[in-house]
Amino acid sequence: MKRRQTAYWAIGCWLLLTLVAFGLEQLFSSPKRREFNRSIVDRAIQQELIAESEVQAALTRQQLMDMWLPLSANFTLVPALMTPVRDRSPLRSTGRIDRGEESGLTAGMGIVSSSGVVGRIVAVGEGWSRIQLADDPGFVIPCVDEQGNRGIIGGASYSGEGRIKFRLSHLELSLNEIITTDGSGGVFPANVYLGIVAENRTPVKESRILFPQNLGTEKEVVIFVPIEPRVGR
């Protein structure tokens, strides 16, 4: 909070001094000179507004990193900005982040936001990565219910929804039950929020599970990069 207040205070003081100087200049300069100065002040104000938004984004990113730090014992956390991507197929649900090979990212790594699981990386380039969002029909991940029963959950044919693909143990869902990751597979740590049961049906594969809201909107995200185990000599 102190960082934000300091940044706002510095921006405010700078703008005040600039505007005072601009006002005094009006008394002693020509119309052409005043117009030129006005354009400089307008440009400066725009730059400071941009800087203010960047300060806010940095604070949000740091807060997100702090949020996931307790679960990252076996991972390195890499922050990024995710934007949705319109896929040629209406059934596909994809996104893009502004980090890639230069940050050590590879296909298969898991991505989360403040709401929980977002998806995983499917393609990587220099400065970018393509994401398969959790509600994409091709997305699958091991999951666990509140009783510790395990299964495989994946995307459905409807935006923001998921379905149980396979049961790995006696998985029987109940209404409003929370589904989380089970920590296997090395993509996500355990206990990351996946979704909530909106309708419990028989068979369990027909149950509706709602993923985090606004899954495909622009947001700050964190990538879980697995830590390579050290090989003893």
Instruction: Answer yes or no: do 57 and 124 share one domain.
Output: no
Domain final residue, candidates 69, 89, 123: 69
Residue at 232 is within a domain: no
Instruction: Answer yes or no: do 97 and 181 share one domain.
Output: yes
pTM more than 0.85: no
Q: Which domain holds residue 112?
A: 74-227
Cα–Cα distances in angstroms (integers) from residue 224 to residues 50, 78, 111, 157, in the given order: 29, 7, 6, 27
pLDDT, position 9? 54
Tens-digit pLDDT profile for residues 159-168 = 889 999 998 8
pLDDT, position 110? 97
Instruction: Answer yes or no: do 130 and 211 share one domain.
Output: yes
- From CA 111, how far away is CA 78, in angstroms rounded? 9
Tens-digit pLDDT profile for residues 53-110 = 555 556 688 899 999 999 888 999 999 999 988 777 667 889 999 999 999 999 999 9
Instruction: Answer yes or no: do 84 and 172 share one domain.
Output: yes
Instruction: Answer yes or no: do 36 and 80 share one domain.
Output: no
Instruction: Answer yes or no: do 97 and 117 share one domain.
Output: yes
Q: Which residues of 112-124 are buried (b: 16+ CB within 10 A; e: fewer)?
A: bbeebbbbbbbeb
Instruction: Answer yes or no: do 99 and 36 share one domain.
Output: no
**Total count of domains within the chain:** 2
